[in-house]
């Protein structure tokens, strides 16, 4: 695995923004959508539109049933999430902009996380936009209410995630563009980079002069724009890169001249292999 390019990029960076997709969570056991084992190989995405949710009570009941079947599932952050939390800890990472809805960046310890597609850990009212904890709504469903409504306004309740055809939260999207466009480096992890408007965020950053690194299992349409492309598992690549970065940032590196940065090599004080 050739991670030295990524270590160099991160070491030189003044302000990094991470842009993550479903691929960073597959190693936690959550399937992505478009990978070879993705959810779209098993279910039909065209059903999961906001229009169908609003207009089709039977679809809503099915969606709640699916939620309840998975309500007890618990997922843990993996080595990729933990490496991004480390990147924040060493002062390099300004924020994580994520398409994910699983909350695993926060669980790993990242404090600045912008969730473009909402969160599966809350329920929202489509009428008055109130947010509420899952448990309160799940208890009502268990008690027999199979199509729950908002207790304040009577509006339809739905997972606080963004479905196909639904508006992304404007304030979050604006902040994400602003943060990405003012960063000098964008680290893309586990995204097919085909879902817009989210994929427009790293693209906008490159137009403002940011350098981009892509860590993904498969090719993406933006690989040609990237300074560094690493193809493989985020849970292996990111920890190796952070280890290399820590070595580069440590006083011992500058004092001793040579340190081990990963299993396959050494770097000198200028970050080059001897
Ligand atoms: P995507 O499913 O379109 O693409 C995921 C990409 O990650 C693929 O290109 C795949 O090759 C790559 N990948 C898979 N495992 C990887 C690994 N271990 N290391 C590196 N790369 C890996 O995902 P997307 O671009 O995020 O878009 C899909 C949409 O689905 C998002 O909008 C998101 O809201 C939603 N989604 C979220 C979750 C989640 O919260 N965990 C899961 C599935 C889908």
Please identify, by atom number, the ligand 1 atom nearest to the C-alpha of residue 100. Answer: 40
Regarding predicted confidence, which is higher, 273 or 76? 76
Q: Residue ranges of the alpha helices (H) in the chain?
A: 4-12, 50-55, 57-69, 79-89, 104-108, 134-142, 170-181, 200-207, 234-249, 251-256
Q: Is 59 a catalytic residue?
A: no
What pLDDT is stored for residue 251 in this prediction?
66
Whether residue 41 has its Cβ less than 6 Å from ligand 1: no
Q: Is the pLDDT of residue 261 over 50?
A: no
φ and ψ of 118, to 5 deg: 80, -160
CA distance 175 to 159: 23
Whether residue 101 has its Cβ less than 6 Å from ligand 1: yes
SS3 content of the chain, % helix, strand, coil (to 5): 40, 20, 40
Dihedral of CA atoms 157, 158, 160, 163 in degrees, nearest 10, equals -140
Q: Which of 4-18, 162-176, 256-270 has the lowest mean pLDDT?
A: 256-270
Whether residue 100 has its Cβ less than 6 Å from ligand 1: yes
Q: Is the pLDDT of residue 178 over 90?
A: yes
Residue 44: pLDDT band by 50, 70, 90 thresholds? confident
CA distance 158 to 86: 34
Q: In CATH, which of 1.10.3720.10, 3.30.70.60, 3.30.1600.10, 3.40.50.720 is domain 31-74+119-161? A: 3.30.1600.10
Return the closest-CA partner of residue 18 out of 110, 107, 103: 110
**Residue bearing the CA closest to ligand 1, atom 18:** 233
- Same fold yes or no, 1-28+79-117+169-274 and 31-74+119-161: no
CA distance 126 to 111: 28
User: DSSP secondary-structure letter at 214?
Assistant: E
Q: Is the pLDDT of residue 70 over 50?
A: yes
Whether residue 233 has its Cβ less than 6 Å from ligand 1: yes
CATH architecture of 1-28+79-117+169-274: 3-Layer(aba) Sandwich (3.40)
| Percent of the chain topping pLDDT 90 | 81
* Tens-digit pLDDT profile for residues 118-142: 999 999 999 999 999 999 999 999 9
What pLDDT is stored for residue 221 in this prediction?
97
Please identify, by atom number, the ligand 1 atom nearest to the C-alpha of residue 220. Answer: 9
What separation in Å is there between the alpha carbon of 264 and the centre of ligand 1?
29
What pLDDT is stored for residue 269 in this prediction?
40
Q: Is the pLDDT of residue 272 over 80?
A: no
| Percent of the chain topping pLDDT 70 | 88
Q: Is the pLDDT of residue 60 over 90?
A: yes
Whether residue 119 has its Cβ less than 6 Å from ligand 1: no
In contact, 249 and 15? CB cutoff 8 Å: no
What separation in Å is there between the alpha carbon of 103 and the centre of ligand 1?
14
> Which one of the listed residues 4, 81, 105, 117 is annotated catalytic?
117
* Tens-digit pLDDT profile for residues 191-221: 999 989 999 999 999 999 999 999 999 999 9
Q: Please state the rounded mean pLDDT for residues 166-184.
A: 97
Is this model's pTM higher than 0.95 or not?
A: no
What pLDDT is stored for residue 46 in this prediction?
82
- Ligand 1 pocket test, pick from 22, 76, 203 with the greatest ligand atom count within 8 Å of Cβ, gives 22
Whether residue 216 has its Cβ less than 6 Å from ligand 1: yes
* Tens-digit pLDDT profile for residues 144-164: 999 999 999 999 999 999 999
* CB-CB neighbours of 3 under 10 Å: 26
The full set of domain ranges for the chain reads 1-28+79-117+169-274, 31-74+119-161
């Amino acid at each position: 695995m050739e991670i030295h390019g990524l270590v160099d990029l991160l070491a030189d960076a003044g302000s990094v923004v991470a842009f993550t997709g479903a691929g960073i969570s597959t190693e936690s056991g959550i399937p992505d959508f478009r990978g070879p084992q993705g959810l779209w190989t098993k279910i039909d995405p065209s059903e999961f539109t906001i229009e169908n949710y609003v207009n089709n009570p039977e679809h809503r009941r099915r969606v709640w049933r699916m939620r309840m079947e998975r309500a007890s599932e618990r997922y843990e952050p993996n080595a990729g999430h933990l490496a991004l939390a480390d990147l924040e800890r060493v002062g390099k990472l300004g924020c994580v902009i994520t398409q994910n809805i699983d909350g695993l960046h926060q669980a790993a310890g990242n404090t600045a996380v912008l969730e473009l597609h909402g969160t599966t850990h809350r329920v929202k009212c489509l009428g008055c936009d109130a947010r509420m904890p899952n448990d309160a709504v799940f208890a009502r469903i268990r008690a027999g209410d199979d199509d729950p409504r908002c207790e304040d306004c009577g509006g339809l309740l739905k997972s606080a995630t963004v479905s196909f055809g639904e508006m992304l939260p404007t304030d979050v999207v604006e902040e994400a563009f602003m943060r990405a466009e003012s960063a000098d480096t964008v680290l893309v992890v586990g995204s097919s980079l085909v879902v817009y408007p989210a994929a427009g965020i790293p693209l906008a950053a490159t137009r403002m002069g940011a350098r981009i690194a892509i860590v993904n299992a498969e090719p993406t349409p933006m690989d040609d724009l990237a300074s560094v492309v690493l193809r493989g598992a985020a849970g292996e690549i990111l920890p190796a890169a952070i280890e290399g970065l820590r070595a580069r940032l440590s006083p011992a590196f500058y004092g001793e001249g040579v340190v081990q940065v990963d299993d396959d090599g050494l770097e000198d004080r200028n970050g080059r292999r001897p």
